[in-house]
Amino acid sequence: MLNYNPFSLEGKTILVTGASSGIGQATAIECSKMGAKLVITGRNAERLQETFNHLEGEGHRQIIAELTNSDDVKRLVSESPELNGLVLCAGKAMTLPFPFGTRDKYDEIFNVNLFAPIELLRMLTKKKTFAKNSSVVFVSSIGGVSSIVIGNSIYGASKASVNATMKYCAKELAGKKIRVNSVNPGMVETPLIHRGTISSEQLAADAERYPLKRYGHPLDIAHGIIYLLSDASSWVTGHSLVIDGGVTI
């Protein structure tokens, strides 16, 4: 059976947030290659269009939305078709020593990394947007969960909260035949890691700590997400899938 593929997404409709760059962009494109119809969303129209242009197949949609804006989220929910999968990929990083981590800094990161994705998931669930045997994937991080780095307390706390929320959602939504999991990447070569205070030389030195001697690529994470979206993981829920090049060992 040469055409047998348990990781196929044929017949599935997947909503991917943060699809205009990085892991979200790679995930959307790879899902389309696996046969899915995509609904992609992001706040930058030009970059989202670039992702859209690379999607394979037909029937895809793009919806411009800022997930911290309640009106945009309501519109995204109202325009979303029945879904078989949701990838919550939009995120924001911040490197800041703990003494400078004021409440407004926590609010800034938690609004993007935690409150926005769980509100979108809550509203989609309440609207009964998900078909039976659907899959939700949070993009979390090893930061704050199994890798504690100086200056990462705010970001790490937000991602630890994502993983905790994921487990509660997996427990509560199982009765609705909705699986909920997360992927926990190590450092991945995306624009996100080059917007902070860490130099390219420091990043290169840090990559040497990884047993595989490199940071991840967006495709490395996208393929793990596809596993969790596919029927190959139909008995997996409440799980944090670590994809980190072995750094946590």
Helix (H) or strand (E) holding 182: strand 178-185
Q: Let me know if 155 is a catalytic residue.
A: yes
Active-site option among 4, 155, 210, 215: 155
Torsion over CA of 139, 144, 147 and 150, rounded to 10 degrees?
130
Give the list of residues 6+ apart from residue 201 with CB closer than 8 angstroms, or none: none
* Whole-number Å distance between alpha carbons of 203 and 25: 22
φ/ψ of residue 142, rounded to 5: -70, -20
Helix (H) or strand (E) holding 88: strand 83-88
**Helix, strand, coil percentages in the chain from 3-state DSSP, rounded to 5:** 45, 20, 40
Catalytic residues: 155
